[in-house]
Amino acid sequence: MSRVALVTGASRGIGRAVALRLAADGHDVAVNYSASADAAGIVVEEIRAAGRNAIAVRADVGDAAAVTGMFESVENALGRVEVLVNNAGITRDGLLLRMGQDDWDSVIGTNLTSVYLCTRAAMRAMVRARWGRIISVSSISGISGNPGQANYAASKAGIIGFSKSIAREVGSRNITVNVVAPGFIETDMTEGLGEETARMVAEQAALGRLGRPEEVAAAVGYLASDDAAYVTGQTLVVDGGLAL
């Protein structure tokens, strides 16, 4: 069934792959971005070329007013949001003793407060329609912790607790709330970590390699589909067996 989906941080990486996957599954897609207007425009063109409707919508998802404006734009252009994918995220890594409050606030704002703002903005119409899908992208760092990522891991663990709570709040309205927790996926975010780190991580994963954005998008596609109608409050780990 064709739905309207909003994917945050869909100009690059995992979000881009999710937007393309949801379009391939028959949905119209709002492609959110914060800085990469050209890249977001290309994703929109790809979706339109594939026969679905799409718009690019600029908003810093950690900013309440920007999120309100984003939902207005999407509703005017495509209709109410039925599938929300909270994907936008950043890292500001550093050991705790050297982690300034800016690094803490920006990561919590972009990765976690954004999930609160966007989910709340999507919820009213979903409750009214008695149908909705909320899928948020966490990380195995939020499950296992990771030295140098206290801010990031806290934001990603927060997404899991948030999602379980909201799943219980809105389950009776036929709205499912789930989380996908990727391991090490080849995107701009991980490129800066260097070849040596990538090789070590690949060796540690049971499947012996890094993940691709499309492999995370497939999990999101499943959770957005009717096949996942009875799945809620769950965290689906997509890490090639890295955190086993």
Q: Which residues bind ligand NAP (CB under 6 A)?
A: 8-15, 32-36, 39, 60-62, 87-90, 110, 137, 139, 182, 184-185, 187-190
Residue 152 falls in the annotated catalytic set = yes
CB of 67 to ligand NAP, least distance (A): 9
Q: How far is the CB of 90 from ligand NAP (least distance, A)?
A: 5
Tokens of 225: 């589909």
Q: Considering the complex, state which of residue 39 and residue 77 has its C-beta at the smaller distance from ligand NAP.
A: 39
**Residue 174 C-beta: closest distance to ligand NAP, Å:** 26
Query: Cβ 138 to ligand NAP, closest distance in Å?
Result: 7
Q: How far, CA to CA in Å, does 227 sit from each of 64, 83, 220, 231?
A: 33, 14, 12, 9
Q: Nearer Cβ to ligand NAP, position 107 or 170?
A: 107
33, 116, 152, 230: which is the annotated catalytic residue? Answer: 152
Q: What is the spatial distance between Cα 149 and Cα 30, in angstroms, rounded to a whole number?
A: 30
Q: Per-residue DSSP letters for 139-187?
A: -THHHH--TT-HHHHHHHHHHHHHHHHHHHHHGGGTEEEEEEEE-SB-S
Q: How many residues does the chain have?
A: 244
- CB distance 149 to 141 below 8 Å: yes
Please say which residue, 85 or 126, places its beta carbon nearer to ligand NAP.
85
Q: Which residue, 62 or 221, has its beta carbon nearer to ligand NAP?
A: 62
Are 157 and 112 a contacting pair, CB within 8 Å?
Answer: no
Q: Known catalytic residues?
A: 152
